[in-house]
C-alpha cells in the first residue's frame, strides 16, 4: 500500500455554521487543496465545487431522517475531493443530537497521498482551531503500519470508535487531547522528556517527533519515541500495546551480507 496522510477529528462544536465551512475551505485553499468536487457522500462524487455558491448549497443541507419510529431533521455530510496535485479528499459529518438530547460529536476527516511539500503539521494545527477537538490525530501511514488487524486496523482508518464512547487505538505522530481527554497524560513530564506539547483552550496537542517525515525515513526511531511517550499515559488508555516489527531482510540481502 502507498504512503498516505490521515487527519481525523471528533468535535462537539456546532459544525453547521456556514462560517465554519468557509473557514475550512479557506484553509484547504491556503494549502493547495482547493476542492474540485463536492457531495453528500464521501464515496460518490459527480458535482463540481464552485466556491461559495456550492458551499451555501452543500454545507449542512438538512434532510429528514427516520429512526426508531421517529422522524427528525439532520444535516447531511459535506464531502469534497481534489483529483489534481495536491490530491486529497475529506468530509465533515455534522454534530447531531440523540432522542435523549445527547450530543453526537461531529467527525472531520482528510486523507491524501503522501506529499512532502505540504506542511501537514501546520494544516492540522490550523484545522483544530476551526474544529476544537474532543480528540484528534495526524499520522503518516507507511507499509510498516498498514494491513494489520484489530485495533491497528481502526487506527489505520483514523477511527475513534463509537460516537458516544470514543477510544484511542494508538498515539499518532500528532495527537490532540481535548475536552475530557485533556486530563490524560503527564504534560510536564512530556515537556521534560523533550516532546513537543502545544497548549490550546480545551486541551493540548503532542507530537512524537519533530517531523512527520520521520515515519518514512526512520520509523524505528519514531517507534521507540512512541513507546516512551506512552509510558506517560495510563496503561489502559490505548488499544494497541505492540509496535510493528522491522521487516525481515530479503533473501538476496542476506546472501550479500
Q: How far is CA 85 from CA 33, 113, 115, 193, 239, in A?
A: 8, 10, 9, 38, 35
Q: Which pLDDT value is given to residue 98?
A: 85
Global pTM?
0.93
Which regions in the chain score pLDDT beneath 70?
Answer: 1, 247-257
Distance CA 132, CA 125 (A): 10
Distance CA 197, CA 2 (A): 29
Q: Which pLDDT value is given to residue 115?
A: 95
* Residue partners of 57: CB distance under 8 A and separation at least 6: none
Where do the structural domains in the chain lie, given as residue ranges? 4-256
Q: Which pLDDT value is given to residue 62?
A: 95
Q: Which pLDDT value is given to residue 257?
A: 47
pLDDT digits (tens, 9 = 90+) for 208-230: 999 999 999 999 999 999 999 99
Q: Which pLDDT value is given to residue 251?
A: 47
Amino acid at each position: 500500500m502507498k504512503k498516505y496522510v490521515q487527519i481525523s477529528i471528533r468535535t462537539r462544536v456546532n459544525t453547521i455554521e456556514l462560517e465554519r465551512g468557509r473557514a475550512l475551505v479557506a484553509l484547504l485553499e491556503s494549502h493547495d487543496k482547493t476542492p474540485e468536487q463536492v457531495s453528500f457522500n464521501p464515496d460518490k462524487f459527480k458535482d463540481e465545487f464552485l466556491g461559495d455558491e456550492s458551499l451555501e448549497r452543500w454545507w449542512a443541507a438538512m434532510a429528514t431522517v427516520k429512526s426508531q419510529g421517529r422522524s427528525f431533521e439532520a444535516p447531511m455530510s459535506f464531502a469534497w475531493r481534489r483529483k489534481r496535485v495536491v490530491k486529497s479528499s475529506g468530509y465533515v459529518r455534522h454534530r447531531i443530537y440523540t432522542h435523549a438530547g445527547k450530543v453526537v460529536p461531529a467527525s472531520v476527516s482528510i486523507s491524501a497521498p503522501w506529499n512532502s511539500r505540504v506542511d501537514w503539521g501546520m494544516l492540522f494545527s490550523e484545522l483544530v482551531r476551526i474544529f476544537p477537538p474532543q480528540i484528534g490525530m495526524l499520522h503518516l501511514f507507511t507499509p510498516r503500519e498498514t494491513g494489520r488487524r484489530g485495533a491497528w486496523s481502526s487506527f489505520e482508518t483514523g477511527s475513534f470508535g463509537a460516537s458516544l464512547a470514543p477510544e484511542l487505538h494508538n498515539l499518532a505522530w500528532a495527537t490532540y487531547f481535548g475536552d475530557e481527554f485533556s486530563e490524560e497524560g503527564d504534560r510536564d513530564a512530556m515537556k521534560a522528556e523533550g516532546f513537543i506539547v502545544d497548549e490550546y483552550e480545551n486541551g493540548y496537542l503532542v507530537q512524537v517527533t519533530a517531523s512527520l517525515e520521520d515515519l518514512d525515513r526512520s520509523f524505528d526511531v519514531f517507534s521507540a519515541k512512541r513507546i516512551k511517550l506512552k509510558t506517560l499515559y495510563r496503561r489502559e488508555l490505548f488499544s494497541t500495546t505492540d509496535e510493528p516489527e522491522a521487516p525481515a531482510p530479503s533473501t538476496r540481502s542476506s546472501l550479500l551480507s
